[in-house]
Structure 1
């Protein structure tokens, strides 16, 4: 994706490094001085601060309204979003903030950070004299079947973008409440590469009419349908950048691909009995990822068993490393990426019955109890040693405890 900010890089660097922030409003200048104060209760990482500064520069100096931050998974996008919400609230008189995400796992993690204005309080984003704004940044999480009153009453509204789609009555009602309100809003589209569909584009187009600002955040800006988001990319902070930090912000990744034919993945369609090798599944994988296939392919038990056995060897290595280097600060977790819900159920059953690992299955159909367990993975008191999900490797699993990932599919398509 093209970096729209490239022609302005040197001017931005001069502006940022001056620490005087010329050509912005006085309110914004005071806010940025507050944001970068050395005695903040919790400091932003340098790349997070830079992301906020670029958003401010693009909005106030370049007059751009629709921006995109390309930040690696695990790079702290939520704190950046929180800082920008605080800036828009304090400096631009915006009072309604819509946070959109692609799935319930991402939504649950955002809910943890924005519930009770936690992100604003933890980082001290609100300057003296404006701390009472935290009481206006109350969170409403859109839920299926619930009325729209929370959308009207709350300063921060969180939900899956599908909850605004016009193909269902609930989505029509939710979007109508936003469209008919007297106030302009700011839209934060987390994991903006995801959920490509005509309704996705139509919803963002409708929101454009009532939004004064939109920020897309993603680690992979090129969408699954091959298109790029329609916002302007202003910042790139990738895997190499995060690993070059001292200490590294994200873990180093080691890809282990066994070459033995005996562990090659094969799949069976239980409805027809058809069997395919992993190399024959490329087209089907693409259809599954795009939501175009309802076929419940499952990995054959023998190669699944062998792949799990290899993954558990790696997990034991990570356990030893956690004990010796991290002194038991976290419990390494095995994360299994299945291709369908039936496939995920089979993997969970095998992990529990044959390998005796306490395993959590998390899908879009998971109930609140299971989602709460997912939020607590790797924390003290969590009983789970493995988690199985469906095609959800990229969003919502950027947590330190996930130490080994087993893909029941190809690492990459052709």
Structure 2
């Protein structure tokens, strides 16, 4: 297997686990059946390829084509287009294939593929592939191939990618005409189809292949006789009158349930009014209520997204609501209603677009323009009405609320609805439910959808993923706490550590007898007291002086319990030389630790803090009154949530609803900030009154959404927080050194500990592995978050530097990210001949991310303070290094990395 190319492409394109596994399975298939890439094959040879692959893929029954064709079924939102780029990069780099033919099922995906394969576009699929940096692949499309045909012999690009829309070919075949691609081209003396069919290395990629699998156009494409077909789809089956017929050539199946569980997509939830009974009201009334509650859900989500963007210091996401209409006539009626004065007093006029085939000319152009810009915060559209036009390929990340008004069974309704809204705006789950959730407003189908989602064969519940077969002997996981080498040397190891032994010689204990180990344990307890005695022991080196050791020995004798005796009074253990044990234990401690001081910045003199007055940002906030609370339930986890709390007490002043919610925050003192709180609350009340003409509607919003409003206001207050000390600030070193914290890992039962030098064949799964075999690490085992970290450990070991990966709480160092102050745990701490290094390794494209920059600022400042302390104690200074991943290579020494030092701002 060309594992080196697979790993390199995985790293360069930052492939997710299912994408990496798909690429790996393609490489495995080619290795198992090399004739798959043979140009001239007869039917018997294709059958032999199939037979060879059946042993590798249990789900593969038939290619279902005249050439080898493999299907990769990945859930919507996981990244099928990026996987196409990975396939093309791999086939070119590992096997020299230069010609590719990409099929799209409709115009939307066709245009999207052209954009994503075009350099310098936001979602360019080859970003990071060095081989395509100077001469990117030549893109030939169904619109320009006749013009490009005359230049085919002059192309400098190493790879040619043809992108065609199958719909055009289908229509021409059904009409009895030969597809235009098969007609003679005067430039090349044959049809472009004949030119492609004659290529010795053509690979066919079929996007959303379920959409045209049995079409006449694809049967025509069979005549291209490609080396290989690669199909990508989220639904590996064809709908027939007798029900769905599953594909027989699936080699990787990563369904929606797995994508949800792994956090690659939003969590879909179904929402209704509490105690809602659709049977008691006419259908048009149910429709009206669903639309109004959809908007209420949409407006609440908008506030949550604005608040999250402020608190985390990230880009703002503008959500929109999707309304699924029955037909174009129904869509037109909905458009008129949603923009009328009767729908929230006309507040959504000019914020709604209708997307269907009824538009022509300038109206169609305006519709497409607004639809393509719907993710932009500057585009006013907040509601999109559609009738079967938003199909596969319409990739948006800001769809948060769906109101289906078209009759369908529960399964079809859910599958067709959520397929368009699963993509995450930040590329990963945030941990904030409202930011990670897609809401389906389904008052009349609530229980039906819940019941269907709970069925064993539900696509939301079903979790298939055909990858490597699990080792049943190693089933289950367990938690392991790894003791430091120092603890084990002094006799403090336990069965937990030996259970993950690397097979190397165990850490040899310093002391032979149980009584000596008991004394050593008391020594370690006493040394803990010296952490805070910075005047006596600013570092552990001070513990080596005879004066300090004498005091340690005295303290140990006072604490040491008497030796156990037999019944006749005779001691079972000989007397122990306490001073000798202290001396040896301290020496081991200095040798097997790195001094990490505890540093705090404390104010001097009188401290004042508070919030500067400011004008509240209420742009885009349009919370709406509610008739009843909305209740929702996540379809996968069954977790329930309520949009608004039950009505609380009635306040005399409207501002009191907000103020009483704000003073629940720990950093707000009412006696100090009352004036500001009422000013901000007053600004919000005036904003609500600007678009809610009924005073009772204003009170309704303030009552039911008081917590949501307060959360948004508090996020803005944090941006205007100030603190000052009359005497400035002091850097206080409260501990000259701290004990090593013991990391706890979750590992598979029976999993072997890997030697850190061994190349990892599956880097995407490295977080599941435990490594050992170290000579200079302060722990016998470590876990790594990336293969780059493992390779950096190789460098540290080669140059015999003490090092370890710190556990949470080791530094108690925090950084500011928006309104949050998370703890920063660096990747490595290493002690060289001249410095102590705090090291972070990151992909180059992440170096300027907000959280990376904030962590680096905190780490660099900590290192400066630690260096000041080290200078006064006469020991090694600290440096903070932020190292790009690609710089971690075997040819470098530690001195080469010092150029990546980050200094405090």
TM-score (norm 2): 0.34
- In structure 2, what is the Cα distance between the partners aligned to 1:397 and 1:343? 22
TM superposition shift of 1:262: 5.7
2:204 pairs with one of 187, 197, 202? 187
Does 2:342 correspond to 1:345? no
Is 2:59 the counterpart of 1:88? no
Match of 2:127 among 123, 131, 140: 123
Whole-Å separation in 2 of the counterparts to 1:150 and 1:350:
49
Q: Deviations over 1:236-258 (max 9, x none)?
A: 1122222222xx21110002356
Q: Deviations over 1:317-363 (max 9, x none)?
A: 22122123344621111112223233333333332335443123334
Q: Which has the higher contact order (CA 8 A, sep 6+)?
A: 1
CA distance in 2, matches of 1:263, 1:216: 47
8 A contact 1:335–1:387 mirrored in 2: yes
How is 1:186-265 mapped onto 2 (pairs within 5 angstroms)? 186-195=203-212, 198-203=215-220, 206-207=221-222, 209-225=224-240, 226=243, 228=245, 232-245=249-262, 248-256=263-271, 259-261=277-279, 265=283
Alignment correspondent of 2:169 = 164
Give the conservation status (yes or no) of the 8 Å contact 2:98–2:202: yes
2: CA distance, partners of 1:303 / 1:196? 39
**Is the contact made by 1:67 and 1:214 (CA closer than 8 Å) also made in structure 2?**
yes
> Is residue 66–residue 215 contact of structure 1 (8 Å, CA) maintained in 2?
yes
1:361 aligns with 2:354: yes
Partners in 2 of 1:35 and 1:110 — Cα distance? Answer: 20
Which of 385, 404, 407 is the equivalent residue of 1:407?
A: 404
1:169 to 1:309, Cα distance in 2 relative to 1, 3 A = same
**2:9 equivalent in structure 1:** 35
Residue equivalent to 1:323: 306
Residue 112 of structure 2 aligns with which residue?
109
**Structure 2 equivalent of residue 142 of structure 1:** 142
Which residue does the alignment assign to 1:298? none
CA distance in 2, matches of 1:141, 1:364: 24
Separation in 2, partners of 1:98, 1:263: 54
Instruction: Compute the displacement of 1:61 (Å).
Output: 2.0
Match of 1:277 in 2: none
Residues 1:121 and 1:400: Cα distance change in structure 2 (over 3 Å) = closer
**Is residue 374 from structure 1 mapped to residue 380 from structure 2 by the alignment?**
no
Q: Deviations over 1:250-273 (max 9, x none)?
A: 1100023564136665xxxxxxxx
Instruction: Check conservation: 1:359, 1:386, Cα contact below 8 A.
Output: yes
C-alpha displacement at 1:147, in angstroms? 7.0
**Cα shift at 1:77:** 0.8
Kindly provide the CA deviation profile for residues 29-52 of structure 1, in whole angstroms up to 9, marking residues without a partner as x. Answer: 442242144xx3x51112211111
CA distance in 2, matches of 1:250, 1:49: 17
Q: Is the 8 A contact 1:305 1:350 kept in 2?
A: no
Offset of residue 88 of structure 1: 2.3
Q: Is the 8 A contact 1:187 1:214 kept in 2?
A: yes
Supply the distance in 1 between the matched residues of 2:409 and 2:395 (Cα, whole angstroms): 19
The reply to whether residue 74 of structure 1 matches residue 77 of structure 2 is: yes
- What is the CA–CA distance in structure 1 between the aligned matches of 2:281 and 2:24, rounded to whole Å? 49
Structure with higher Rg: it is 2
Does the CA contact (< 8 Å) of 1:108 and 1:371 recur in 2? no
> How far is 1:125 from its partner?
2.8
TM-score normalised according to structure 1 size: 0.71
User: Alignment length, in residue pairs?
Assistant: 340
Q: Is the 8 A contact 2:356 2:388 kept in 1?
A: no
**d(CA) in 1 for partners of 2:140, 2:333:** 36
Distance in 1 between the 2:280 and 2:106 partners? 35
State the shift of 1:151 in Å: 6.8
Equivalent pair of 1:73/1:398 in contact (CA under 8 Å): no
Q: Which residue of 1 aligns with 2:685?
A: none
CA distance in 2, matches of 1:162, 1:50: 31
| Alignment partners' CA distance in 2, 1:393 and 1:208 | 31
Structure 2 equivalent of residue 100 of structure 1:
103
- CA 1:151–1:243 in 2, change beyond 3 Å: closer, same or farther? farther
| Distance of 1:333 and 1:304 partners within structure 2 | 19
Cα separation, 1, equivalents of 2:379 and 2:300: 20
Paired residue for 2:473? none
Q: Report the Cα distance in structure 2 between the residues aligned to 1:223 and 1:75, rounded to whole angstroms.
A: 21
Q: Which residue of 2 aligns with 1:278?
A: none
